[in-house]
Structure 1
Amino acid sequence: MIFYFTGSGNSLSVASQLIRDEPLVSIVDAMRDRKYTFDPGESVGIVFPIYFYTLPTVVETFLEKLRFSYPPDYVYAVATCGGTTGAAMEKARRILSRKGVRLSASFSVLMPDNYILLYNPPTEEQVKLRLIHSKTTIGDIRRLVRSQERGDFNLLKGPLPHVVSLTASTLYRFSRGTVKFNVDDTCISCGLCEEVCPTRTIAMGEKKPKWVNPTCSHCLACIHRCPVEAIQYGQGTRNRRRYQNPEAKF
């Protein structure tokens, strides 16, 4: 079984390339059922993006609330990122350890960076090149997982990962406000933003979305997946490219 969390589709794409016969389960859907039974020898994967060099709030909450009726023999985690992971994987390892579950292996995959709040996402050509390069890494992970190799295979921690994660995660905690989200008159009232929001922060009101919670995970699926690019964050996202992983099947 592979659990995944995705905003723009990167982690979904990676998870889809890792599965063989096992189920692929959205972490958002899995939050409704916190107990799982695993067969002896079954492997469990968790695939997620890196936000501010730490775990997205949705992933952290999922790990904190997850209950195993029988601990799986092999648990691995795969982080997708646009640069480095910091110490995010260590945080996941600590959370699982408190539940008596050992993180058997950890991996990372470099994917197209798309944090539109700070910069313009990559061009189509840049995306294509990054995804081509990711195939080798994903293939290596698939081989190691199927042979249930154990160890830390994350090569993208970057310098001073614990210091970087500590600083950036504090910034993440105080930067997840929703007050700057807004929608312009090109909105077609399709409701997709409400549907894809993992924290149920968006509700359709008066035919336009409203952000009803003061904070969210900042996955930015609402911005990237709006079919008419009507959703903005302040004025900084206006005229910037949107990004959806072209290989992800939502």
Structure 2
Amino acid sequence: MIFYFSGTGNTKWAAEYVSSLTNEKLIFIPDVLEGDCHFNVEVDERIGFCFPVHGWRPPFIVRDFIRRLRIDDAAAHYCYALATCGDDVGLTFEYLNKDLAEIGLQTDSVFSFIMPESYVGFPFMNVDKKEKRDAKKEKGVKELNLLAQDIVVRKKGLCIINKSHWPIINSKVIGSFFVEKMVKDTPFRVEENRCVKCGICADICPVDNIKGGLGIEPEWLHNGLCTTCFACYHHCPHHAIEFGNRTKNKGQYYFHKK
């Protein structure tokens, strides 16, 4: 069983690939978050967690899900985590295992690999230029092929991981600021002169946080579910969505198969 979260598609692609090799079911976390989060796992089935790195931590929606998660005899199963990141993971897996310990589970192996950058919420952060983006995707495909084989054979231990020289500063200092100040939908706004009311942003939001549809100007619900994954921003065909003034003149990115 593979529990995953994805905003702009990098992690969805990775999770789907692993699922195709292991023949194990994919569970999209937002779809089950409001349920009892109690799952039955087959005797020889793996337990996987796939997610993008947000602020050098697991996304808060993944952490909330894990706190609610209940799996009978979970410790008897091979457990792994796979994270996609634009640069490095910081202490992401340390946070993850701390959360898992609360439900009697720990990862047997952790993996990460770099994919094109999609976070544009900080003034100094933008998507990668085309050459860098394509190089990251090409390398990412190769790394996913390798780590997926390790998952298939249930390899244990620290495997492929991207870690910075300053994991504590990134995850604890900048990460705390990110969670407290940046993970909110209030800065999102619509440039009315560019919006054609196509409804794509509402359809693509992974947590259904946008009221909209064909012929309706989008409106964020401010319900606390926004993960600032920027799927709405990146998928807007007319670049009509902005995050305050921090996304002005920045690029867009979302994963798609060639």
What's the TM-score once normalised by structure 1's chain length? Answer: 0.91
**SS of alignment partner, residue 99 of structure 2:** helix
- State the one-letter code of the partner of 2:110: S
Alignment of 1:46-195 (within 5 A): 46-71=49-74, 73-118=77-122, 119-172=125-178, 173-185=180-192, 186-195=194-203
Gaps of 5+ in 1: none
**SS of alignment partner, residue 174 of structure 1:** helix
Structure number with the bigger relative contact order (C-alpha 8 A, sep ≥ 6) is 1
Residue by residue over 1:29-80, the C-alpha shift from the partner in whole angstroms, topping out at 9 and shown as x without a partner, is: 1324411111111112111111111111111111111111341511100111
* Residue 233 in structure 1 maps to residue 236 in structure 2: no
State the distance in 1 between where 2:81 and 2:156 align: 11
CA apart distance, 1:132: 0.8
Q: What root-mean-square deviation, in Å, do the aligned CA atoms of Structure 1 and Structure 2 show?
A: 2.0
Runs of 4+, deviation exceeding 4 Å: none
- State the one-letter code of the partner of 2:24: E
State the distance in 1 between where 2:181 and 2:248 align: 23
1:209 match: 218
**SS of alignment partner, residue 162 of structure 1:** helix
State the distance in 1 between where 2:73 and 2:195 align: 47
What's the TM-score once normalised by structure 2's chain length? Answer: 0.88
Count of residues paired in the alignment:
248
| Aligned sequence identity (%) | 28
State the distance in 2 between where 1:223 and 1:7 align: 11
- State the one-letter code of the partner of 1:83: D
2:18 match: 18
Q: Does the 8 Å CA contact 2:117/2:126 hold for their aligned counterparts? A: no
Q: Does the 8 Å CA contact 1:37/1:70 hold for their aligned counterparts? A: no
Gaps of 5+ in 2: none
State the distance in 2 between where 1:179 and 1:214 align: 10
Q: Does the 8 Å CA contact 1:177/1:214 hold for their aligned counterparts? A: no
CA apart distance, 1:214: 6.7
Q: Measured at CA, do residues 162 and 238 of structure 1 come closer, stay the same or move farther in structure 2, by a change above 3 Å?
A: closer
Q: Measured at CA, do residues 160 and 234 of structure 1 come closer, stay the same or move farther in structure 2, by a change above 3 Å?
A: closer
